Structure 1
Amino acid sequence: MQSKGEYLAAGANRHPFTADWDTSGLLAYGADRNVALWRPQSHDSRGVFSLLGGHTDTVNAVKFVPETQGLLLSGSVDKTLRIWSKDPSTEQYSCIQTLSEHQSSINCIAVSNRTSRIFASGSADATVKIWTLDEQNVATLKQTITVTPRFFPLALALSPLAGAPESYVLAVAGTKDIIQLYVLDSQHSPEFKLQATLAGHEGWIRSLEFTLEKSSPTSDLILSSASQDKYIRLWRIHQGKELPAAAASADPSMGAFMPGKSLSNKAHRFKAQDLDFSATFEALLLGHEDWIYSTKWRTDRDKLQLLSSSADNSLAIWEPDASTGVWITVTRLGEISAEKGSTTATGSTGGFWTGLWSPSGKTVISLGRTGSWRLWNNNLDQDRWVQGVGISGHTLPVMGIAWSKEGDYLLSTSSDQTTRLHARWKLDGLVSWHEMARPQIHGYDLNCIDSLGSSQFVSGADEKLLRVFSEPKAVANLLHKLCGFGGSHIDLMPDAANMPVLGLSNKAIQAVADDEELPASNHNDRDAIDPASIVHKSTLNLSHPPLEDHLSRHTLWPEIEKLYGHGYEISTLAASHDGSMVATACKASSIDHAVIRIFETKEWHEVKPPLMAHSLTVTRLRFSADDQLLLSVGRDRQWAVCQRVGEGKAEYKLLEQNLKGHSRMILDGAWAPGEGKVFATAGREKTVKIWARDEAGFTCRTTITEEHPVTAVDFMDAFMGDGKAYLAVGTEIGRLRIYAVDFKGDFSATEIEVAYSSTYPFPSKAITQLAWKPSKDGDGSEMELAIASEDSSLRIYSFDPPSVS
């Protein structure tokens, strides 16, 4: 069976060095423990097309090695560096070497900005290691620098010295307010030696980068340093005995910017290849209002330009003024709002973590707090930067997924406290998947979700209640316009929703006309509306998938109901196929709390009494296709089937239970297509069991053995032409298998060989849930499978059904 990766979404890790953009147009970034590959400027708007797996912990640093046909370095919390090489024929990456010499998490990697076979890595073991690459791209450790005075390197920069190309300068900074310059004098020593310590910053230093002042190779080097003291400093490395003009004429008025502080202009002198060099302070860049995480020089340029990203939610582009030489901000991008919200000082990890130039310098992108990429293109005709479509994804384990009843869109919910809606964007014959709405932004980790028809869903979190949401007009119009579905009951919907400043419940609101006066905000009012969340009608009219600002502000769904009754965090829920009932369960360590509660959706009343069958947490609930039976499985190793009492009633009673369904906890269950005669259960003891109903009740007919604990199962909802049904099985290590179960015979399960088209088809952590897309014609001709994983990735694969023999 052939497979095709339709959609791959994974949010980026919050780290200033988590991404790099190659000259070929390929962008690589750390996504949990994987490295994601994306082409931001591709015409088809496709997002991530591959995830490279191999690291066993979060990826902190990613770097391309210049002029090596895309050689890629990645450093991780797992203490290793990996070298990835691209196969020229298939364009697919594979790991060719793993370096394990560091004793702690790797924070930063530096490569030289010109052709060289040398790179450096900095780690929380307070060392910097220097590596060289041979012709086969195999790395060898050349030197270990133990940083003294001891601090953890957070930023490195490496460059050949101007005028002495065989010698290198390495800048190291981190959890102290100093920058150390190490110099490799190729003529006199094979090792880097400390030659200067640059002082001036008053906080940890987060970013360092070298560039040549002019395009000639003998020009001075400029080093940018960005710090948590909210300032950027520029330093000049000059070749020659005489000092550069700026340093020689130390201007006392320079200190006037900062009361009580004078800007030191001490010259630090050193030698390399018998040439004299000096390092001096060049300029102080003021303008950001919070910590600065990264600085990046534009490489293809006729003039110096620096891009900085800060926790104040802005990107700034700096260049020296043509007449005075003073550095000024020429462009500011991002969110500039009066209502700042919490800053880094209060523990918020807000703002932009990194900013990158495209190879051409015509595009900049930045990574925000939510793991999403924002993108701006430089429109030369209008002389301004215009925001384009970026990509987004969850940043923590994806715990629940659910297709809408018609299969038009997919909902996902995660420990990152968001619920997201994903759908296909159809434009000029091209089809690409995007996040189209963010219906819920919550204060608790979200655990489970299910769809209640085409325009409602219910979700459960680490709180004791469930919340029901209804689609607003803004999202319905957007999906109708961009994706070509829905739009039937738009008139009855509220315009949009927002969240009160101190609340968790999304409130329905009406959009305001663009020229309408807004009410004054009162900070003491608990239900006060955040002015930033008031929606204008024009902002809801989009011709492309919503950008990150829109997703987080204008695509919330109003909450229409809360369902109470449970005593602990919600563990699982299921909505009936006709949308008339919701079954729920919570985390439990006793029979009293391990009950299943059923709510009818007309009046939202609980149907009493609750169902009692389990003694520990119920891990999954599933209604049969005709809603007559309800399957529950739990950590107490048993499964139970409840039967509906009477036609049209929302009442169930226990039909059968198996106290020893598996020898260890049961983590998932799924009904086969048909009238509730067959279901599968997934156990921690590495088996899937298929149970079929006969006169004696449900008996185990087939046991499928896997190599690892089985964490997720799902049956496709239609039979194939040969009377077989497809069962998808996911395991704790992220492995996916598809079996054909023979319903005409003895329920034997045959594994189907699947040819995966992408580089790394499986998640790198446990699969949390599998969901086949509902088949519209009931014939299973459209086979799409959504996969949620603990590695924060969400995948959708399509399969070509094998021909019936």
Structure 2
Amino acid sequence: MNISPEFVSVGGNRNPAAADWDVNGSGVLAFGADNCIALWDPQDEKLSGVQAVSNGHTKAVNAVKFFPTRSPSVSVLLSGAADNTIRIWRAQNNRKPKYECVKSVSGHANPITKIATLSGSDIFASGSSDGSVKIWKLVHDDRFTSIDVELLQTIALSPKYFPLILALAQLDTESMVLAVAGTRPTIQIFVSRDTQFQLSATLIGHEGWIRALDFTRETSDSSSDLLLASASQDKYIRLWRFHQGNELPAASSALNDPALGGLVKSLSNKAHWIESATSKHSITFEALLLGHEDWIYTASWRHRNDKLQLLSTSEDNSLAIWESDPTSGVWVCITRLGEISAQKGSTSATGSAGGFWIGLWSPDGNSVVSLGRTGSWRKWTYSSTEDMWTRQVAITGHVREVRGVTWSRDGSYLLSTSQDQTTRLFAEWKREGSAPSWHEFSRPQIHGYDLNCVDAISDTEFVSGADEKLLRVFDEPKGVAEILSKLCNIESRNTADLPDAANIPVLGLSNKAIQAVGDNEPVEEGEENERDAVDPASIVRKSALEFSHPPFEDHLARHLLWPETEKLYGHGYEISTVAVSRDSSLIATACRASSIDHAVIRLYDTKDWLEVKPALKAHSLTVTSLQFSPDDRYLLSVGRDRQWVVWERIDEPSLYALKYSNSKGHSRMILNCAWSPLEQPTFLTAGRDKSVKIWQIADSEVRLKGTVAANASITAIASSAKVMSGKAWFAFGTEAGEIGIASAKAEALDSVEVTMVSAESSPAKTINQIVWRPARSEEQGQQIAVAADDSSVRVYNIVGGSAQSAA
């Protein structure tokens, strides 16, 4: 059996040091995604998204940096994480990048915060929240077939602070310079002598923590002055000039810039002197860059078109490109990209993106990418014909554990729901002359509570449950239906009666349906009463819902919500699971519980949205999973009390009554269950005791027909909707992130064949849910969608073959 990854969606870590774009040849962008490293090629015309995910770290990845190999055939990546280790990864550039971890280095006592490299050198530096910076040397042969690391020096920062940012540069032919800054308003400059760095100067001027440092030569001439950019939470960027010789450089005319007004007094131009073994250098303050309105997270240099430019990103939702005016020498912002701050709202639902945390130049300098609070990347490319920067399609993903995933009833799109309080819709963009590519097309729900479960009611409706004790039902708006129809060839129902879009009122949790306004139509203001005034963030213009490409993050966060149509009340604690009957007439739910009174299953009728009473009582602890049988005759429930219960459909007084139960179904809690499509009623249970059990109902009793053992607790199980090649197929996922695809003949359920998904394609953490894509023919091959705790949503292709046998 051949199992291959079709699509991976994962959000980036909110850490300014957690991404790097390789300028050395591979063109790959690597970013920290939870405790993994995701690899993406932003310049890929096929838009295939995340190409691979490398697992290895045990905690969140904080720092990612490509090592300058000076070889086009091999790429080396350094990563540092909250597990206090640095890992070294290697890949061959001549094929699709596949990074293997060749070395793990532990030397720091606390999480790594930043890694800095130096082009043309084997030295790199790492900073950690243990208050130290370590200088390392990468020992390798020409082709990097063997790689080792040697610790050269440990610098204990005095006074002690956390180094958030480091920068290395070549000072002269003999010496290097290291700049270190972080949770203090000063920058410490260290100069190397015989491989040992010594503190040589402390630069003052900033008034907040310093988040970004970057060195560059002023011109392409290696003997030109060195410039250092520093950016801080005080909203300013400062430039410093390192000038060789005993004379000071000509004073910067930028200091006389009238725009600086009363700040000039605080801009002292005191020179600091530093010495290497062979030369003397002065460090002087060069310029102050004003323009950002909030904390600045990154600043990076690039020589573009014979001009020196600086890219900065800020919490104010903007990304700025700065350049020195050739006549006055004043540094000005020549391009500003991002979101208009007027559209900031109180939550991400009403427009606030929460700032840009990372900004990176592409290898050719003609594109920039930025990562925001929602884990989504944005990309702009410079068009020389139009002389402007234009938005391009980038990638999005969840930033917290993904708890639930479900396909629409016809299998045309995928919904996922997460602890990051969003529900997202993924589908395939079908373009002429190009292979389909997966993208996020809508963000139906942006919530104030962690979301735990989701299920489709119909092709255009779904229900989700959160930590708020109630369930919410959502209906597809016209704007989303038209986007899916146009870009994904998903046939939409009659959309005439549907609302155009939805929005969340300020301080609200419920998505309200709204109609879009024509671009030239005036917005009606409220009456005299101020309370009726229209919130500008609640207006959607019709043009904002017209797309020729998958929507950008700004639209996803603001215009592509689904209106909420119903709330289902009744539970006393956080919702744990939800299931919709096959005929869509009933919704079954359960909540977290520690007593028989709360561990009930509640049924709701989807015609009038009322609860069908009484609730079903049998479990004594949280019900972890519910599923209706293929013909809706039975409802299966499993729980933390180690028992499974089969409820049979009756007419009165409730719709279901207890038929079979087994209080010792597993030796430990049961975490998931599924019905098989076999003619004889057959179901599967999976639990903490590392086993899947296959049960069959026959002759008024339930018999155990087979058991599959795994290496870890089994946390998710799903069965395909139909029998293929005379076999029942199911997939299971474990607490360790392993995925197994299993099949068994109907008459021999005790001999199950299992194929495990390769470790490099599997998630790094617990699998929470697996679902098979409905309405797939055997010629198309099967697909499963997987939700995992490593914040990823993955789709796998399964092409049948001879599976290896497993006990």
Q: TM-score, normalised by structure 1?
A: 0.95
C-alpha separation between the residues in 1 aligned to 2:197 and 2:529?
59
**Which AA in structure 1 matches 2:741?**
I
- Aligned counterpart, 1:370: 374
Distance 1:687 1:134, change over 3 A: same
C-alpha separation between the residues in 1 aligned to 2:10 and 2:628?
30
**How far 1:463 moved relative to its partner?**
0.7
**Which AA in structure 1 matches 2:610?**
H
**Would you say the 8 A contact 1:71–1:86 is kept in 2?**
yes
**Which AA in structure 2 matches 1:477?**
E
1:50 aligns with 2:52: yes
| Counterparts of residues 7-406 of structure 1 (less than 5 Å) | 7-23=7-23, 24-66=26-68, 67-68=70-71, 69-88=74-93, 90=95, 91-112=97-118, 114-136=119-141, 137-161=147-171, 164-185=172-193, 189-246=194-251, 256-259=260-263, 261-341=265-345, 350-406=354-410
- Aligned counterpart, 1:724: 727
- Aligned counterpart, 2:742: 739
The count of residues paired between Structure 1 and Structure 2 equals: 789
1:417 aligns with 2:421: yes
What whole-Å deviation, never above 9, does each CA across 1:407-437 have from its counterpart, x for those lacking one? 0001000000000000000112321100110
C-alpha separation between the residues in 2 aligned to 1:516 and 1:524?
22
SS at match of 1:304: strand
C-alpha separation between the residues in 2 aligned to 1:638 and 1:627?
21
**Would you say the 8 A contact 1:720–1:780 is kept in 2?**
no
What whole-Å deviation, never above 9, does each CA across 1:433-453 have from its counterpart, x for those lacking one? 001100000000000000011
C-alpha separation between the residues in 2 aligned to 1:176 and 1:513?
51
- Aligned counterpart, 1:517: 522
**How far 1:743 moved relative to its partner?**
1.0
What whole-Å deviation, never above 9, does each CA across 1:739-764 have from its counterpart, x for those lacking one? 1122122442121365x5xx821111
**Which AA in structure 2 matches 1:117?**
D
**In terms of mean alpha carbon deviation, does 688-697 or 618-627 score higher?**
688-697
**Would you say the 8 A contact 1:110–1:157 is kept in 2?**
yes
Distance 1:753 1:144, change over 3 A: closer
**Which AA in structure 1 matches 2:114?**
C
| CA RMSD after TM alignment | 2.2
**Which AA in structure 2 matches 1:751?**
V
SS at match of 1:241: coil
Percent of aligned pairs with the same amino acid? 55
- Aligned counterpart, 1:656: 660
- Aligned counterpart, 1:796: 795
**Would you say the 8 A contact 2:242–2:282 is kept in 1?**
yes
C-alpha separation between the residues in 1 aligned to 2:609 and 2:543?
35
**How far 1:675 moved relative to its partner?**
5.0
**Which AA in structure 2 matches 1:315?**
L
**Which AA in structure 2 matches 1:728?**
A
**How far 1:139 moved relative to its partner?**
1.7
What whole-Å deviation, never above 9, does each CA across 1:703-759 have from its counterpart, x for those lacking one? 1111111101111111122x21111111001011111122122442121365x5xx8
C-alpha separation between the residues in 1 aligned to 2:353 and 2:44?
30
**How far 1:135 moved relative to its partner?**
2.5
**How far 1:516 moved relative to its partner?**
1.0
**Would you say the 8 A contact 2:254–2:329 is kept in 1?**
no
What whole-Å deviation, never above 9, does each CA across 1:369-395 have from its counterpart, x for those lacking one? 100000011111111111010100000
C-alpha separation between the residues in 1 aligned to 2:91 and 2:235?
39
C-alpha separation between the residues in 2 aligned to 1:342 and 1:173?
32
- Aligned counterpart, 2:760: 760
What whole-Å deviation, never above 9, does each CA across 1:39-96 have from its counterpart, x for those lacking one? 0011101100100100000001100112353210101011000110003454311011
C-alpha separation between the residues in 1 aligned to 2:692 and 2:342?
56
Q: TM-score, normalised by structure 2?
A: 0.95
**How far 1:105 moved relative to its partner?**
0.6
C-alpha separation between the residues in 2 aligned to 1:116 and 1:415?
43
SS at match of 2:540: coil
**Which AA in structure 1 matches 2:476?**
E
C-alpha separation between the residues in 1 aligned to 2:413 and 2:394?
19
What whole-Å deviation, never above 9, does each CA across 1:305-343 have from its counterpart, x for those lacking one? 001000000001100112101000101100113243469
**In terms of mean alpha carbon deviation, does 358-367 or 249-258 score higher?**
249-258
**Would you say the 8 A contact 1:270–1:278 is kept in 2?**
yes
What whole-Å deviation, never above 9, does each CA across 1:739-794 have from its counterpart, x for those lacking one? 1122122442121365x5xx8211111001111111345x5853001111000011
Distance 1:380 1:359, change over 3 A: same
**How far 1:525 moved relative to its partner?**
7.4
Distance 1:594 1:323, change over 3 A: same
**Which AA in structure 1 matches 2:112?**
I
C-alpha separation between the residues in 1 aligned to 2:498 and 2:637?
35
Distance 1:780 1:611, change over 3 A: farther
Distance 1:95 1:401, change over 3 A: same
What whole-Å deviation, never above 9, does each CA across 1:126-179 have from its counterpart, x for those lacking one? 000001112243221100000011111000000111xx2331000000000000
C-alpha separation between the residues in 1 aligned to 2:683 and 2:435?
39
C-alpha separation between the residues in 2 aligned to 1:536 and 1:167?
59
SS at match of 1:535: coil
**Would you say the 8 A contact 1:400–1:769 is kept in 2?**
yes
| Counterparts of residues 472-551 of structure 1 (less than 5 Å) | 472-520=477-525, 530-551=535-556
What whole-Å deviation, never above 9, does each CA across 1:175-220 have from its counterpart, x for those lacking one? 00000000013xxx33000000000000000010001100011111
SS at match of 1:478: helix
**Would you say the 8 A contact 2:423–2:445 is kept in 1?**
yes
SS at match of 1:246: coil
C-alpha separation between the residues in 1 aligned to 2:300 and 2:66?
15
- Aligned counterpart, 2:144: none
**Which AA in structure 2 matches 1:802?**
G
C-alpha separation between the residues in 1 aligned to 2:415 and 2:469?
21
C-alpha separation between the residues in 1 aligned to 2:701 and 2:536?
60
**Would you say the 8 A contact 1:81–1:99 is kept in 2?**
yes
**Would you say the 8 A contact 1:499–1:529 is kept in 2?**
no
SS at match of 1:502: coil
Distance 1:294 1:131, change over 3 A: same
**How far 1:261 moved relative to its partner?**
4.3
C-alpha separation between the residues in 2 aligned to 1:204 and 1:342?
25
1:6 aligns with 2:12: no
C-alpha separation between the residues in 1 aligned to 2:446 and 2:121?
46
SS at match of 1:394: coil
SS at match of 1:452: strand
Distance 1:342 1:197, change over 3 A: farther
SS at match of 2:482: helix
Distance 1:211 1:475, change over 3 A: same
**Which AA in structure 2 matches 1:92?**
K
C-alpha separation between the residues in 2 aligned to 1:183 and 1:45?
44
SS at match of 2:173: strand
**In terms of mean alpha carbon deviation, does 433-442 or 257-266 score higher?**
257-266
C-alpha separation between the residues in 2 aligned to 1:692 and 1:526?
62
Distance 1:278 1:523, change over 3 A: farther
C-alpha separation between the residues in 1 aligned to 2:213 and 2:654?
64
In structure 2, which of residues 448, 464, 470 is the aligned counterpart of residue 465 of structure 1? 470
**In terms of mean alpha carbon deviation, does 378-387 or 779-788 score higher?**
779-788
